[in-house]
Structure 1
Amino acid sequence: MGEITNFRGEATPSETRSLGEEEVRALIVRVGERVRKARERKGIPRRVLSEISGVSPRYLAQLEAGEGNISIGLLQRVAIALDHRIEWLMTEDDPWNSEVLQVAELYRSANTETRQRVTRLLRPESAQEMRAHRICLIGLRGAGKSTLGIRAGERLNIPFVELNREIEEQSGMPVNEVMALYGQEGYRKLEAQAVSRVIQTHDTMILAVAGGIVAAPDTYTTLLNRFHTIWVKASPSEHMDRVRAQGDTRPMAGNPEAMKELKSILTSRETLYEKALVSLDTSGKSMDQSLEELLRLIQDHKFLG
């Protein structure tokens, strides 16, 4: 029997449906092969993939053999377990020979600093545009970041934000409780989220951050790239005196080596703090003098345009 066509010589619906079934069959086989190959490249047996994904070994065996008509939901579980995107398992292009897909996967698994470098290369944007009119004061506790930030914000009529207050609002508890409950790692995660949120919500602002943020490489890189950074510094003795003047006796309480430790922290972080665009030394200066110097720095370097 010859090919059935309509009066214009076009394929009939039955033939179109048949071709569609062939395409579906080819897709199922392709997905099965991709799953098997991804599993083998990852070096895990099928039973382990079953445990990770929650998909039964029998179902996985059928899938890899090209016999399982798996649902999107279950396929997504398998893709996640294999550290792949679901589209990698379905695309007609070979994901291991496709340069575009390989780059996409490398980008997905890269850290924040690498992603930012790649983005800058692919979508050139000047440092000035990335930083907008955001200013960030970094430095050790007691340098005067918060006081200077508040007063500079008032003089310039722009918002001032203290990052630890953002973290407290996000977590619903004081920072010391965050540290006690979640530890340093949990605090750093909340800190990074707070920085991202501030960037998304403010193009013009002054931000003051905790002194230890420079020890979190990804978060600090974000600050350096997205803010005009100013290192507010002072001598070790002034750092200590100012903290105690604020009513905080913890730096000296029961610790005769406190000053030695403070100097050690300053020395160890100095190289990191020096990555800031400019610095402001408040040693031996009144708050009014330091404020005027800060305002001149902002104006001279055109941080606000």
Structure 2
Amino acid sequence: MAAIRERLGARSIVLVGLMGAGKSSVGRRLAQRLGLPFLDADVEIERAAGMSIPDIFAAHGEAHFRDGERRVVARLLGEGPQVLATGGGAYMNEETRRRIAERGVCIWLKAELDVLMRRVRKRQNRPLLSTPDPEATMRRLMDERYPVYALADLVILSRDVPHEAVVEDILDCLSRHLAGRAEAAQ
């Protein structure tokens, strides 16, 4: 863990992916293993707005939410090394992607449709899935977002295994990625 922390320097680990990919659950465990703070951009947005994300969508619309999300992620990336879980749409913003590339290592937690749907059905706080056909909406989001998520530094399969197994996958890939960057810099 010390080698990963040293090679990260001031950069953060930024988790991206669709809702239900496990960004918050895995992120908390990853941060704990690395001895880094964990921040969830959605929680920070709710705190800043003084209202829940579904309430922000209902009162102000998605465009307003996305603008606030962009500002919050930019602020959080300036707060030093951490593990940051972003909302599913955050990485779709070009400015946000640029900031993440400058200040972090981006990890896409990629999951199959059935895994995502099983996970998101456990909660009713998903405004984008408040549709007559949530599965069709999720498929559309996968089609739109997966090509952009593929720009991340690393891709980790989020699957139905204990979260610790996914954390181990991240640590292995992250260690190799950072070692490769260190060698390239020499």
**Normalising to structure 2: TM-score of the pair?**
0.82
**Backbone CA RMSD of aligned residues:** 2.5
One-letter code of the match for 1:301?
Answer: H
Which of 151, 163, 179 is the matching residue for 1:287?
A: 163
Q: CA shift at 1:130, angstroms?
A: 10
Q: Which has the larger radius of gyration?
A: 1
Equivalent residues in 2 for 1:19-34 (5 A)?
none
Equivalent residues in 2 for 1:1-305 (5 A)?
132-201=10-79, 203-244=80-121, 246-248=122-124, 255=132, 257-302=133-178
2 CA distance for matches of 1:213 and 1:254? 21
Q: CA shift at 1:270, angstroms?
A: 1.5
Distance 1:196 1:140, change over 3 A: same
The Cα offsets for residues 259-305 of structure 1, whole Å up to 9 and x where unpaired, read as 233122112211100000010002343322112111222222228x8
2 CA distance for matches of 1:277 and 1:252? 28
1 CA distance for matches of 2:8 and 2:72? 18
Structure with more relative contact order (C-alpha pairs < 8 Å, separation 6 or more): 2
Gaps of 5+ in 2: 1-6
Distance 1:153 1:184, change over 3 A: same
Contact 1:131-1:227 within 8 A present in 2 as well: no
Distance 1:130 1:281, change over 3 A: closer
2:3 corresponding residue in structure 1: none
Q: How many residues align?
A: 173
Q: CA shift at 1:189, angstroms?
A: 1.9
Distance 1:205 1:254, change over 3 A: closer
One-letter code of the match for 1:243?
Answer: V
Q: CA shift at 1:223, angstroms?
A: 2.0
Distance 1:249 1:199, change over 3 A: closer
Distance 1:131 1:268, change over 3 A: farther
The Cα offsets for residues 133-164 of structure 1, whole Å up to 9 and x where unpaired, read as 21100000111110000011111110000001
One-letter code of the match for 1:274?
Answer: A
**Normalising to structure 1: TM-score of the pair?**
0.52
Contact 1:223-1:229 within 8 A present in 2 as well: yes
Contact 2:26-2:167 within 8 A present in 1 as well: yes
What percentage of aligned pairs have identical amino acids?
28
The Cα offsets for residues 238-263 of structure 1, whole Å up to 9 and x where unpaired, read as 0000112x3338687773x3323312
Q: CA shift at 1:205, angstroms?
A: 0.4
2 CA distance for matches of 1:261 and 1:184? 15
Moved over 4 A (4+): 249-254
